[in-house]
Structure 1
Amino acid sequence: MTDAIAANDSVESIDVDVETVSAPAAPTLFRDLPLPNEILRAVDDLGFSQCTPIQGRVLRFTLAGHDAIGRAQTGTGKTAAFLLTVIADFLKNPPSPERCLGEPRALVLAPTRELALQIARDAEDLGKYANLSVVTLVGGMDYEKQRRQLDRAPVDIVVATPGRLIDFANKQELFLDQVELLVIDEADRMLDMGFIPDVKRIVRLTPPKSHRQTLMFSATFTRDVLNLASQWTFYPVTVEIEPESVATETVEQKVYIVTADEKVALLYNLITTQSLERVMVFANRRDQTRRLTDVLKAHDISCALLSGDVPQEKRVKTLENFREGKIKVLVATDVAGRGIHIDGVSHVVNFTLPEQPDDYVHRIGRTGRAGASGTSISFACEDDGHLIPELESAIGRKLECLYPPAELLAAVPKVHVVHGASGAKPAPRKPRPSGAGASRPGARRH
């Protein structure tokens, strides 16, 4: 439920065999939907009464058992939309008393570990009165611990990343022939990360599409995504939420024009002079995030690193500390920042401008969540200023570009920076081929 914020919406016809859902005349209240009391109590505990557009439009159909495909980014309420569908179905249709271990009734596939863990947390919150078992299977974490969770009792919902799920299926620790509901989240991200072969294999292990309910979500409707939707869904409805509304409605956006050498001072002074408490800083490369984290720590700023170099167990702990306010600044790459849904992030800082406009929309969507206001500040220099027009096209308006006030460019106090303090290990360099071997015919060049 953490990504349930309001969004403007529009519907367009797409070239697949679907029924396109039109927008309801007025906002939908959760109590007006055919949701069991156990769910309404949980939703009320979370402080929500009114559906977001995607929830109000898609739940009318998915609660009746229809398949659905949705174009929606994080921050639109899609996670709650599919979880409410799953939990409501299970409450209305109790399981057979003769259940086997390792046979989930619902499977939710997500491209990243962080997103899978967040979905599982939301499932626990929304299903707190439903007495459902939720198990998360993700790579980079203790396999045996996850196996013991499957062996403890029959499982209702499995939330998984494709690779780890394949591991369990190959070892016959998990069986998908009893799956009643299949959810595929961020399908376009699955394509980008090369997971589709694994996902296709997983889908084949579930019942035929006419014998299961399938919900599929993607931030974009590319031809590849639509082809997959036609293969995996059975007469689906489709819902589209415009991504621009997620980025611009509640987020103040500005761009500071600086030199590359001024960026560190600008970041330090922004955090310290404005007493920022909950900040996400994005950079394009892992080495940049490591150096930034080391510099901030050397200046006694409470911060932590989130990148592919950080061990998974530490990444999970870092996110929990940031969520609880024990860490003020989280420095992340785009890949590591995917799927992070944390309310209360006041500022997003783009230390380097993203090369992909979609990444900009995703980054600034980490703030201004759940109806709160937020601020996005981007640093543009001679190296990346040329990307601004593309970012403006992505959000549909001009960005405010200005020079930072002098006090934000004041020199940073000199301290000894201990590189490696961030806890991340730089990737090892590949040895350079020596003379004869490098020039011999057929030698592979790196």
Structure 2
Amino acid sequence: MLKALTRIFGKGEEARPAPVAELPAVERPAASAESQDKPTRSPRADHKASKPPRSDKPKADKPPRQTPAASPKAEWKPEDFQVEPEEGKTRFHDFALDPRLMHAIHDLGFTYCTPIQAQVLGHTLKGRDAIGRAQTGTGKTAAFLVSIITQLLITPPPKERYMGEPRALIIAPTRELVVQIAKDAAALTKYTKLNVMSFVGGMDFDKQLKQLEEKYCDILVATPGRLLDFNQRGEVHLDMVEVMVLDEADRMLDMGFIPQVRQIIRQTPYKGERQTLLFSATFTDDVMNLAKQWTVDPAIVEIEPENVASDTVEQHVYAVAGSDKYKLLYNLITQNDWTRVMVFANRKDEVRRIEERLTRDGVSAAQMSGDVPQVKRIKVLEGFREGKIRVLVATDVAGRGIHVDAISHVINFTLPEDPDDYVHRIGRTGRAGTSGTSISFAGEDDAFALPPIEALIGRKIDCEIPPAELLKPVPRHS
């Protein structure tokens, strides 16, 4: 596949570069017009002059942004972050990263790069565009954030700047994924003066707008629809974007977001004047056609999904009648005393019924679906992370983009019809090299979905008959 992809873009994959001694400000190569999607634009100076002045948001009198308060402990030094070289592994030390960024990486406990990080950073830190194929849980978010932060720290911001002009733009398909990326970006920029903002639908527009009135925007993470709202109202201008990331491009295609993404890209500099990174779980023809339109000579990095699906997650399938599924679920959770479990079902009404029955039977549970308001969804996720909620029952709206540590088990109450969704579901456990367990219930209504899943992950999953004690009646609760 890699040879075929490199033929599409006309150049072979370069050998992985040696550790970067110095990272100068990136000069992007000259490029032809962006494709028919890109309208003719005035030079940047003319474009800037055409913007109405925003006297309500002055820059000259703006007080300097505050650096995070220093720790009362001894000042951190790069020497405090020691990671020994290890054969076959790439350290963050092997790239010439800013000490402020390394301090944050140290705080997060990162030592060696994941495969996607090692391969992507070798190209993107030199300013090259990249297309990455990787599932969630492989570390791709940190890969593009490290690259963005490095670029913004090396290159000083322009002297003439409006409040709503992000220097880096990350577009993601779901609200949960945007919130998670923004959270990761805030953790990695904590020792810099870079400001991270996130715009998503379903939350108070004015509260999100207030961010732009208080400080400059360096890194903006947004869903396509809400970003267009801000852009069309003249609150966000995208002509100064230096780095653009499209995360989960295949998901954006499936959800019908590409027309909106095209409108957004029209507002950014030409592809030869910005760095573009595109990530997708699959390399379909549609995804690669978009990549060809929006990137210049991209490096192509592939991380096989089978590594995520099968190496770190122990997978089981129980053959069970539909009428016995709830008994099996309840007994698995209570008899094993599991404390952080995700349960997936295909429909919102199934999710609601499962959550209601678990709550009635004394198991702390909450639901996550498209019917749950965004503000409540954020509270639910925080409760789940903190251990206040024992079981999170969700549709595939939570299948991607939710990163919660120490999820021990994922249970597929109903098998998904799309095999890719199975991989994303079980990827909620066994993350970052830890082990996890997935258990799927195969009943008379959904057992047909198992063979395509096995074909995708490249292995057979034996069906088991649940032991009698796991099918005991659920005790009555007052």
Q: Give the TM-score normalised by structure 2.
A: 0.83
Q: Map Cα deviations across residues 337-376 of structure 1 (whole Å, 9 max, x no partner).
A: 3211112100000000111110111111100012211000
Q: Which residue of 2 aligns with 1:4?
A: none
8 Å Cα contact 2:131-2:298 kept in structure 1: yes
Aligned length: 407
* Matches of 1:226 and 1:403, distance apart in 2: 43
Partner of 2:363: 301
Counterpart among 13, 22, 27 of residue 20 in structure 1: 13
Deviation at 1:296, TM superposition (A): 0.3
- Out of 374, 381, 405, the residue aligned to residue 436 of structure 2 is 374
Q: Distance in 1 between the 2:414 and 2:16 partners? A: 38
Where structure 1 has 5 or more consecutive residues not aligned to the other structure, the ranges are 1-9, 417-446
**How far apart in 1 are the matches of 2:233 and 2:337?**
51
The runs of 4+ residues in structure 1 deviating greater than 6 Å are: none
Q: What CA deviation, in whole Å up to 9, does each residue of 1:301-339 have, x standing for no partner?
A: 111000001011000111111111111100000123321
Asked if the contact 2:310–2:457 (Cα under 8 Å) also holds between the matched residues in 1, the reply is yes
1:277 equivalent in structure 2: 339
Which residue in 2 is equivalent to 1:265? 327
CA distance in 1, matches of 2:238, 2:106: 33
What SS does structure 1 have at the residue aligned with 2:476?
coil
1:154 CA displacement: 1.0
Identity over aligned pairs, percent: 61
**Structure 1 residue 21: deviation in Å?**
5.2
Partner-residue secondary structure (3-state), 2:8 = coil
Inter-partner Cα distance in structure 2 for 1:133 and 1:29: 26
AA matched with 1:29: R
Deviations 1:244-274 (A, max 9, x none): 1111111110001110000000000001000
Instruction: Give RMSD over aligned pairs.
Output: 1.4
Deviations 1:33-54 (A, max 9, x none): 1211111111111111101111
2:370 aligns to what SS in structure 1? coil
Deviation at 1:31, TM superposition (A): 0.3
Query: In structure 1, what residue type is equivalent to 2:308?
Result: V
Alpha-carbon distance in structure 2 between the residues aligned to 1:13 and 1:223: 11
Residue correspondence of structure 1 range 4-403 to structure 2 within 5 A:
11-14=2-5, 15-17=7-9, 18-20=11-13, 26-403=88-465
Q: Distance in 2 between matches of 1:28 and 1:141?
A: 40
CA contact 1:34–1:63 (8 Å) conserved in 2: no
1:156 deviates by 0.1
Q: Does the Cα contact within 8 Å between 1:343 and 1:370 map onto a contact in 2? A: no
Q: Which runs of 5+ in 2 are unaligned?
A: 18-86
TM-score, normalised to structure 1's length?
A: 0.89
CA shift at 1:11, angstroms? 4.8
- 1:343–1:23: structure 2 CA closer, same or farther, 3 Å change rule? farther
Aligned with 1:16: secondary structure?
A: helix
Does the Cα contact within 8 Å between 2:368 and 2:397 map onto a contact in 1? Answer: no
Letter in 2 for 1:20: E
